[in-house]
A = this chain, B = another copy of it.
Amino acid sequence: MTQQSCDILLSNGYLVTMNDEMHIYPQGSVAISGNKIVGVGETVEIETQFQAETVIDCTGCVISPGLINAHTHAPMTLLRGLADDLRLDVWLYGYIMPVEREFVDQNFCYTGTLLACAEMLRSGVTSFCDMYYNEAEVARATAKAGMRAILGQTILKFPSPDATNYDESIEYCRHFIEDWRDHGLIIPAVAPHAPYTSTPDMLRACVDLAKEFDVPIHIHVAETNLEQENSIAQYELPVVPWLEEQGLFEAKVIAAHCVHLHGREMRAMKTYKAGVAHCPSSNLKLASGVARVQKMINTGLHVGIGTDGAASNNDLDMFEETRLAAFLQKGIFGDPTMLPAKMAWRLATIEGARALHIGDITGSLEVGKRADITIVEVTNIHQMPNFARDPEAIYSQLVYATRSSDVRDVLVDGKILMRERELLTLNETEILDYANRISRRIDAFLIAREGNILSKLLAISADFIPQETFEIQVKVSITDTLNLTSLIEQAGFKMVRPSIRAQYDTYLFFEDSDNERLRFREDEVKDQDGKLRNTFYTMTLMGPANEKEFDNSIMLTRARFTATARQSLRFYREYFRPTREQEVIKHRRRCHINHEQTDFAINLDEVADKQYLEIKCRTWSASDANRKAILISELLEKFGVKTDSQFKIEYLDLA
């Protein structure tokens, strides 16, 4: 028999094919010609059949299909460790999004992807599924690395770092697909970020685009319980049925996370042949929960494993991810036979490929498939001994005792991308140089921001209008119970815009901050019967307590910046990390009066069971302040208030 010549022979390895029969060859070889596998089997047979210029000896190693990272945000690797151990909203709105707004551009996406590819190759990943901005740059970097990828251009209902609206994103995505659809390694995809960041129109446009080019849709689905709750509250439908109504599943869907799917939703997704990307590290780290992976598998869904972005993981280590996936099913659902090592390795390889709709070309070592292969050492000290009695114990060794650092060689599409732990397509020094430069710039940006409460507030308040306002005011302690209406009328004034309010103020104090403090106010406006009419939330950055003092303890105060508070008090507390905080609860009857053509607010306040009269008006200049201080003195006389009961402290100093 004459030998067939091929390009590369991988020989003498412990070969796990991950084909349908799960064939294992403890002494196995793979023959590669061009970008395809042409022979798989026992070493003696393959070596009889094939000869190659390049023969890679795999003694002491497993030859496995390359790992498939089913969900990531490659460029975000540049944000690894930026902010951790924070609640999702603080992490996202407080850190990730402000930094993305400032730094994410084409270069960021290109180099971030190179960094991600370097890390992924080193940990045996051959294919990944991405979702980010400027995805054409992600594609350029992935092609340079030589990896296989499904690359989803993010589309959001609100402005993003690469588009001011979703029409722009969809247009970008169309060009991206047209430019990259014929590339041998890159499959462009449409990535509407999530149901709750989409509109029905936007989703429809995404589905139409995906169908037009027969490319997948990559989307986050049911990542948190809150998402499910909100979907039911808003649409009276769980997430998947709502997506069904939008026609999403007309396209080939890759659904990331799926932590909170109901059984019915799993069955629906199975019908639509949607793939699932399970991201256990990220789901734990952000406290989203644990997906019912074994149940999804039992339902017949194709489930892959993903690292998610390095900003919430904080690495792209598929070995860690696969082990964790197996551990969690057992420990959380109370059955140690769930997601056994063999099945876990299937998820990391062939099932991952199927979840990404590329199971026909990769994910297993079979003749005719692309040569996407990882060679992993299995005789290092932390992996030994091994037990040969059961050939399938190799899966346990791979999943439970092997680490990324054991990966020796990686091939994608028949090309050797890593050989003896040396990356052949990427320059790591250059990549790290860029990564360090960008992290120093982000450091500087955040240090400037963190050192200054106003900047920190501006970073999270797109609609915040930085405008200083000054008030001139006096507070008088009242011993007898006063009636605001009688007080005003007896002094000969007319009550303007009377209102009743309950104000819950929380002051956040900081050390070393020039006496600045933040006030979070929950302002309940009631009608004259005491019924709640409206609630306002405001966040105010205040200057020092006393800017200037006039006669009669009349003060000039400065409320530098006020904006609607869009987040909870808890958010601001965790975001600003005050050194101290104080609460002031105030029941206020307020009206305005006109005195000498000037508007004054008259407040009769009850604070900590005591009554106070407060007179306030806005002011614009020093001479204006002086004039108004005199007017306030006149009002005090008209109201018949003795001046020795006046005091200048603020309510928050009462405690």
Contact = CB atoms under 8 A, between A and B. Distances in A.
Interface centre among A115, A287, A404, A438 (most CB of B within 10 A): A287
Contacts of A388: 439-440, 443
B288 A331 contact: yes
Interface in A320-353: 320, 323-324, 326-328, 330-338, 340-341
A582 interface: no
A284 B328 contact: yes
Contacts of A389: 442-443, 446-447, 450
Contacts of A403: 317, 403-405
A81 interface: yes
Interface string A301-330: 000000000100111110010011011101
Contact of A397 (B81, B324, B432): B81
Contacts of A85: 330, 336-337, 340-341, 396
B341 A84 contact: yes
A86 B337 contact: yes
Contacts of A386: 81, 439
B396 A81 contact: yes
Contacts of A332: 284, 290, 332
Contacts of A526: none
A527 B326 CA distance: 49
Interface stretch (A377-385, A627-635, A643-651): A377-385
Interface stretch (A116-124, A243-251, A503-511, A555-563): A116-124
A117 B401 CA distance: 16
Contacts of A118: 381
A24 interface: no
Contacts of A86: 336-337
A574 interface: yes
A318 to B, nearest CB: 12
A310 B115 CA distance: 33
Contact of A385 (B326, B336, B400, B439): B439
A115 B381 contact: yes
Interface string A511-552: 000000000000000000000000000000000000000000
A285 B331 contact: yes
How many of chain A's residues touch chain B, expressed as a range? 35 or more
A80 interface: yes
Contacts of A285: 326-327, 330-331, 336, 400
A238 B547 CA distance: 63
A436 interface: yes
Contacts of A270: none
Contacts of A82: 387
A95 to B, nearest CB: 10
A331 B435 contact: no
A384 B327 contact: no
A125 to B, nearest CB: 12
A142 interface: no
A385 B84 contact: no
Contact of A317 (B115, B379, B382): B382
A283 interface: yes
Interface string A610-647: 00000000000000000000000000000000000000
B84 A400 contact: yes
A385 B330 contact: no
A401 B81 contact: yes
Number of copies: 2
A332 B438 CA distance: 34
Nearest to A443: B389
Given A284-B327, A285-B330, A288-B331, A387 B84 contact: no
Contacts of A574: 337
Contacts of A80: 383-385, 401
A81 B400 contact: yes
A253 to B, nearest CB: 25
Interface string A208-249: 000000000000000000000000000000000000000000
A498 interface: no
A393 interface: yes
Residue with the highest number of chain B CB atoms closer than 10 Å, among A82, A316, A385, A431: A385
Contacts of A397: 81, 314
A315 B400 contact: yes
Contacts of A379: 432
Contacts of A289: 331, 334
A313 B323 CA distance: 10
B288 A387 contact: no
Contacts of A331: 283-285, 287-290
A331 to B, nearest CB: 3
A87 interface: yes
Contacts of A405: 403-405
A78 interface: yes
A97 interface: no
A310 B385 CA distance: 11
A387 B439 contact: yes
Nearest to A436: B385
Interface string A417-460: 00000000000100110011011101100110010000000000
A362 interface: no
A281 interface: yes
Interface in A350-401: 379, 381-389, 393, 396-397, 400-401
- Counting from the closest, the 9 A-B pairs by CB-CB distance are A284-B331, A405-B405, A385-B439, A85-B340, A284-B327, A314-B400, A385-B435, A287-B336, A84-B396
Given A283-B331, A403-B404, 4 more contacts: A115-B381, A290-B331, A385-B432, A389-B447
9 contacts: A80-B385, A81-B393, A81-B396, A85-B341, A91-B336, A122-B381, A287-B330, A287-B336, A388-B443
Interface of A: 78, 80-82, 84-88, 91, 115, 118-119, 122-123, 281, 283-290, 310, 313-317, 320, 323-324, 326-328, 330-338, 340-341, 379, 381-389, 393, 396-397, 400-401, 403-405, 428, 431-432, 435-436, 438-440, 442-443, 446-447, 450, 574
